[in-house]
A and B are shown apart, each in its own frame.
Chain A
């Protein structure tokens, strides 16, 4: 099967593949930025005491987590025009990615804050720091540290999920691979090139996570 891999086709389509690769990166980047903003807001709302603000945030996180991205994507793709909102597919895709990952980001950040031992809150309160000082100097530094690796993990998920945008005919890496497969009846070449592109991003993000945890370990931590 690999013996008669047609490398020429991959070269021929290289500009298209490269464009797809860049599109995947761009959409993932924007999607993740949106997810971080949404996630931080949703998390802030779920841990504050006002019930009427908490309920919608909790509902958002739960609904997103209990339904597949593809259904969410179709919901927006087939649904937004109904509301008179006409957006280009690529924008719908980015919004769907951000909405989806935002819920997971909210959960990750929340568990980071919950993981700070109660004693830290009590100690920082007893030392007379104000609420903002407590958050800034004591709680957040400890809460953020354990969230970095899971957040990079979520970024990996998002990059892979962005391939679903090909199903609403956004041109990205997976779509170009499908084109090679269908135009030239060369599924092996097309899908191998696609897979390779995603693996490059995957290994780069994985290396980033490894680097981070190597250089940000507290002394004495395993």
Chain B
């Protein structure tokens, strides 16, 4: 029985691979868009313009405080009702990019705040302009500090992308869900699905740990 199911599962191999590809591309696109916006958010959050920082902080909180599933539904069901028609894929990318922008924003802000005050004092004393200070001295150090957290964020992104399957995107989780309707062996099917995620995420967990260790030793 088991081997028979494995054989049948082999027929679905292309579906699983396509699902894996979808998961990876969803995550990468969202990382890129979310990274750019998140960097901006972080600079604003750590910046001196109080009201702007407050507004962005509130925005970030709204998305950090609600389940991603609800956000996906909002993108998919509510935006059309105000005239923004999105395909499931674009809705998914929008929701995931936005979520990662919010998390990356907080990470970048914490990195900027972790750069010792003496650095900006030294830069100030040399007469750097505000944005030069940020670009040449603060950000390079801040990004180095938060590198492990950013890798961690990408792992979360890959995992969160599975939630988008709820609106019918054919990602790895969704393809598992489809297959399990035909081959009623959840342990086998979602075991294989799990292996797919593991292959992507585990090396990054490893990488993040190594970066963290290196950061700690370089701070000593």
Contact = CB atoms under 8 A, between A and B. Distances in A.
A78 B162 contact: no
Nearest to B80: A187
Interface SS, A side: helix
A202 B66 CA distance: 8
Most chain A CB within a 10 A radius of its CB, from B64, B70, B180: B70
A222 to B, nearest CB: 11
Is the interface on chain A under 10, 10 to 19, 20 to 34, or 35 or more residues?
A: 35 or more
Contacts of A194: 66, 70
Contacts of B201: 65-67
A164 B159 CA distance: 13
A79 B216 CA distance: 42
B132 to A, nearest CB: 28
Listed residue (B64, B66, B78, B162) with the most chain A CB atoms within 10 angstroms of its CB:
B66
B81 interface: yes
Contacts of B173: 68, 70-71, 74
Contacts of B89: none
Interface string B60-95: 011011111110011001100110000000000000
Contacts of B180: 74, 78
B143 to A, nearest CB: 22
Interface residues of B, number: 43
Chain B at the A interface: mostly helix, strand, loop or mixed?
A: helix
Interface string B159-182: 111110110000011001100100
Interface string A122-153: 00000000000000000000000000000000
A202 B64 contact: yes
A163 B69 contact: yes
Interface string A54-98: 000000001101111111101111111111000000000000000
Interface stretch (A11-19, A34-42, A43-51, A173-181): A173-181
Contacts of B194: 63, 67, 71-72, 75
B66 A68 contact: no
Q: Which of B67, B73, B77, B173 has the most CB of A within 10 A?
A: B67
A63 B186 contact: no
A65 B73 contact: no
Nearest to B164: A70
A81 B186 contact: yes
B115 interface: no
19 contacts: A63-B194, A67-B197, A68-B158, A68-B161, A71-B173, A71-B194, A74-B180, A74-B190, A75-B190, A75-B194, A79-B186, A79-B187, A160-B67, A167-B166, A187-B73, A194-B70, A195-B66, A198-B65, A198-B66
Given A68-B162, A202-B65, 10 more contacts: A68-B159, A68-B161, A70-B165, A75-B187, A80-B186, A161-B67, A163-B67, A164-B67, A188-B78, A194-B66
Interface of B: 61-62, 64-70, 73-74, 77-78, 81-82, 155, 158-163, 165-166, 172-173, 176-177, 180, 184-187, 189-191, 193-194, 197-198, 201-202, 205
